Chain A
């Protein structure tokens, strides 16, 4: 009997059967099928940008007490299509001094780097582009591509503001890459697998956000910085460097940077859901594996909402604050968190699941309390120093 719940698998088997009846060998049919998946998944990923842009604009509007798009179509749903028509028919201007090839390559790379991440995200137990055995390393490698695209854009435009934006991107990328890679190390550490499906499988009982909440927090902050959205959007700070790296871009090329940014943010949400919120696991996925995709998208949208929330809430931080925050808080925290978790996890590998996870959570809480105490002490001493260096007001003057 066909298991209807196993939707993706059944669909795949049916397609492969169809191809085999058309005269292909079994391995040939499987090859054609995986090629088809590999070709369709990026298209699907790119199309997700359409609802995302609407969703984010509505959310941001709600958080800022506005209406958001509400003119074109019901609830402004068609606004994105209107924008697309407009942006497709805009003139594509390349400044005379620009490096034309790199200038055209940058927006393509900005989107391609994000789409590439979708190859390894497991949507259900047996629905994924490809289950690489080095999935997490692949994420680290491909995830940097879109940041490189921003550097290329800033450099190729031959504009001083764009160049400054690119400079800031480099400073930001080389900083926040470290806590991001450290936080990605934690799911690998806890699951003993570098493949994303293995990591999801290890979270059937307990999600990693409960056994390693600090790592999830590191991932959240570092990926927000990696996507370079507010409060980390220094590379396009309007009040300082006009529009930053994308100042010379127009038309579809400009649009692609935005599509890339929205999509990157959502993809990071999906990755956060996969690595820390149990991915496609949830009640009923054993009977109906297709439900896993629904769970993953719901969880991913939840993480994405946190990104949007942070974007709407925090003001942009200064570059020295940003680097201090990374090098003096996040990186040391990651460097202490990982050995702690490794020792606890290895030391209790024989004991029961709940005891081990409770110990991991306890270790996280302990480290968090310690960090908060140290931060409090440093903050107090900094305030004391600031208070003692302020010159006393001249006698008679009143403030």
Chain B
């Protein structure tokens, strides 16, 4: 089908409009009595100190790096997985070798202690 993506487009628009419409209906049906106390940030009764949008230590930074490496490489493998059946055996072995190199890379990161939660 040549218009496959237009169907996906309509699909996504409807998928966004449906919950959006439900939210609007809920807004019309529900009571609206805002007050400063009610709209405070809820932190278990303790008054909020300062902003929440602060710089915070991202403990998963190394994991994020590993994720970028592996996810991109794996998505790169999809065309290979689709086509290796029609390619010579060499292509299969090369793809397998590539994945084993990735595995060795993971092992390296592991030995270096990059996969420890601090």
A interface, CB within 8 angstroms of B = 31, 34-35, 37-39, 41-43, 46, 87-97, 104, 107-109, 111-112, 115-116, 118-119, 129-133, 136-138, 140, 155, 157-163, 167, 170-171, 174-175, 177-178, 181-182, 185, 188-189, 192-194, 242, 247-248, 251-253, 256, 319-320, 323-324, 327-328, 331-332, 335-336, 338-340, 342-343, 345-347, 349
Contacts and interface: CB of A to CB of B under 8 A. Distances in A.
Given A91-B31, A108-B16, A178-B74, A159 B41 contact: yes
B60 A332 contact: no
Given A89-B30, A94-B39, A140-B75, A339 B95 contact: yes
B12 A112 contact: yes
Interface residues of B, number: 75
Nearest to A193: B82
Interface of B: 1, 3-8, 10-12, 14-16, 18-20, 22-23, 25-27, 29-34, 36, 38-44, 48, 51-53, 56, 58-60, 63-64, 66-67, 70-71, 74-75, 77-78, 81-86, 89, 92-93, 95-97, 99-100, 102-103, 106-107, 110, 115-117
B85 A192 contact: yes
B80 to A, nearest CB: 9
**From A43, A131, A158, A171, residue with most partner B Cβ within 10 Å:** A171
A345 B14 CA distance: 41
A160 B74 CA distance: 34
B7 A111 contact: no
Given A119-B7, A178-B70, A95 B41 contact: yes
A251 B95 CA distance: 50
Contacts of B92: 342-343, 346-347
